[in-house]
Amino acid sequence: MAEQTGANAIKQSQTAQVQYQYVDRPEVAETFADFVQRIQFDGQTLRLEFCVSRMEDQKPPAPATGKRYPACRLVLSTGAAVDLMNKMQQITAGLIKAGVLKADAVPAPAEKTN
């Protein structure tokens, strides 16, 4: 029994130490999107639907109209979703530092009244 436990510990240790090498595939097409239509998390996967907006022919004085079409539906594992959120936080911090975005003001704690 001790050998199985030791073997499992070694297997888990090896899994935790896996290092992946990135291999580019230039043939993978890029998909342009200008709008995120939907984000949904079901407890195991994060689903994102990206859309592209198309303006319709304008007929003044009618208001401008357009349509949005799905361009990509991306489904991420929980691990990939967490990785995406961490990387988006890094991007946000960089944009704040560069002055492109403003940091949200942290509200002052409410005073207790007795």
pLDDT in tens, 62-107: 999 999 999 999 999 999 999 999 999 999 999 999 999 998 876 6
Do residues 75 and 47 make contact, with C-beta atoms less than 8 angstroms apart? yes
* Cα separation, 67 vs 41, whole angstroms: 26
CA distances from 26 to 33, 74, 97 (A): 19, 19, 32
Domain assignment present for residue 51? The answer is yes
* Domain membership flag for residue 11: no
Please give the residue range of the domain that contains residue 81.
31-56+65-98
Report yes or no on 5 lying in a domain. Answer: no
Neighbours of 111 (CB within 10 A): 5
Predicted pLDDT at 112: 61
CATH code, domain carrying 37: 2.30.31
